[in-house]
Structure 1
């Protein structure tokens, strides 16, 4: 028997599994690396976050990814070369983390790699009946596995598309495994490049659980800040706080049909980008400062997020909202969310035992744990079928 296959079988039988979750989102800040210890599977899954680091991307890495990221026309040879390059880069970053933590590759059972999204194209966006829902993440896991010497699961979103979903948001599955509660209804908001939320009813009824993207998270705020203020992001919303809300621009930004489509739904920077903002400014006819635009973009994220929550979730008195992702560090954004949801408790994810910054990396580790040791998940379009996510890459 292939020794790696035998090792995979042995890992699945272990009482506890050490899994590293990797996440690099649309914000391109860096690679989130979460060292997790899992026990059990399904609704008996428990996780302890042992270590967490974010390894920032160098400017060249960001530039290389942006050259193909959500672009209509790209240098195709560049995309081909980036796929293994990103895989090796992520592997080197994992090795750096292991050295920092005083660990060896043999101390880790598995890596769960999200990869780097470069295009997300659900049918609701491409509207071509010939083609299915599609998404593309690069960072080849064979190269990552060889770089680290650790078995690797990757390409989770492809199986979701194959099973009838849109490839996102996948938080639904990990959130249900790790954060369901019988004491309260929970809405878990993640504000990365794109904002999404998961609704977890206190009944534990999976048929009532759902997750959906709501629109832009940090993607427009960060892109506008980078272009017009030469900063990676608006730290503590200092620039945005200097501006004022333009009702006319906000209303125009919210006019897209996406915001009236039923949930669950997905989106990305392919739709919500600076061209979208430029068009909205022209259509609204406003003449405002760049600070006012940035301030209004914060309102746009908060409004599109909270209006979907109010439309889709019965916010009973015991409902609690938990925030994660980079947006939880934006004080203006958090305050706007609280203003839109005045009768709901809003807390930071950390109180549930997992850092809000690490949550997405932890969730992909949870998906890998379920694929290896669990019974899988209900198919997105067939309650009688179950499916598992992730392709397996064996190290040399």
Structure 2
């Protein structure tokens, strides 16, 4: 489909591409979207996930670390990961029994390398900024499909933090007339969207939601498990290891004293604060205290649960009544984590998005399909109430095949 035809379509088949801070792999959701903006209707046609192998995952971790990254690796990985993205789209189309040319648009989040949500006032060369790699032109040329991506920079240029972007899709897919809902994604980082009950009117209002990064999601848990298992495990399946341990409350409170948690929303974070360096320091302290491995994993899991619950208590519950917490992302499969959340939030029902008919694994890839669709239609697709931007703006950049 040529660009002019694409711009004139009111219904598009879009492949949303997502690779998150957990560095699990590439998620591809092929969806049909009718209309645009907050009233768009989306139907998931097919979803596939492509795990990164251990070597690639460790290279990505290296690239996301100031101590170990280098410009050659960054330059090369920008193209190498784009090849992976393109191949993932081709494989997903095949699994869906579709031709690639039946996809009207690819919308890619890219792989975040570094995120500076607040400018370093002591260094004029470190303004508020963000970097996602996975070159759009490579994806477009390899697939023959128009590509939209690199969304976060436009929000930052408009005064925002470039994140979180999930609230836009959360509002489209999960708003409810009668119930206040919190959408909690638990990927590498945790992010939440609090959507108050919308009432019975026909108007929809995304301007009164609250959204921010709650802190670490799976990032610290996964790295701890990787280190303690000497590289044999990349995550705690079902939370089984944590379930055998006891939480060290003293160490937990020290972790929760991190200054990030006291910051007012809008706020975002990532591997810059809670990545490999933070985890190595914390793990060393836990081992020096003589904690058993299962107790360390349990405490890391409790850190995620408590940071999420305290974020709600500090910033959401004083403003809105919330009936449900709907969890998605890899953390939704961690039974111990969900059990901890339910214990900390006895007045809210803890659900997974799958229970509401929307795949928790596919949710963020669907979101980026929606963002790309709105870019093509010329519709602002950021939420200033979530990101802190000065105004609504159209996020994204275009690459032609």
Output the TM-score relative to the length of structure 1. 0.92
Provide the aligned C-alpha RMSD in A: 2.0
- The yes-or-no answer on 1:389 pairing with 2:392 is no
What is the match of residue 322 of structure 1? 326
Counterparts of 1:1-396 in structure 2, within 5 Å, are 7-123=2-118, 126=120, 128=122, 130=124, 131-203=126-198, 204-229=204-229, 230-280=232-282, 286-314=289-317, 319-377=323-381, 379=384, 381=388, 385-395=391-401
Aligned length: 388
Q: Is the 8 A contact 1:45 1:178 kept in 2?
A: no
Query: Quick one: distance in 2 between partners of 1:55 and 1:221?
Result: 21
- Secondary structure of the residue aligned to 2:207 is helix
State how far apart, in whole Å, the 2-side matches of 1:381 and 1:192 are: 22
SS state at 1:306 partner: helix
Q: 1:253–1:277: 8 Å Cα contact kept in structure 2?
A: no
8 A Cα contact 2:196 2:322, kept in partner:
no
Which 5+ residue runs of structure 2 have no aligned equivalent? Answer: 199-203
Distance 2:90 2:400 in 1: 17
Q: Following the alignment from structure 1 to structure 2, what is the Cα–Cα distance between the partners of residues 129 and 81?
A: 27
Alpha-carbon separation, structure 2, partners of 1:386 and 1:239:
44
Distance apart, 1:14 and its partner CA? 1.9
- Alpha-carbon distance between aligned partners in 1 of 2:121 and 2:223, rounded to the nearest angstrom: 26
CA pair 295-318 structure 1, distance change in 2 beyond 3 A? closer
In structure 1, stretches of 5+ residues that fail to align are none
CA contact (8 A) 2:62 2:68 kept: no
Q: CA deviation at 1:374?
A: 5.0
Q: Aligned pair in 2 of structure 1 residues 66, 353: CA closer, same or farther (>3 Å)? A: same
Q: CA deviation at 1:227?
A: 1.1
* Structure 1 residues 128 and 183, CA gap change in structure 2 (3 angstroms): farther
Q: Indicate if the aligned counterparts of 2:16 and 2:368 stay in contact, CA closer than 8 A.
A: yes
Give the Å deviation of 1:128: 4.1
Instruction: State the partner residue of 2:201.
Output: none
Contact 2:328 2:352 in 1 (8 A): yes
Query: What is the rounded CA distance, in whole Å, between the counterparts of 1:327 and 1:318 in structure 2?
Result: 21
Cα deviation, residue 280, structure 1:
4.4
1:42–1:374 Cα contact (<8 Å) kept: no
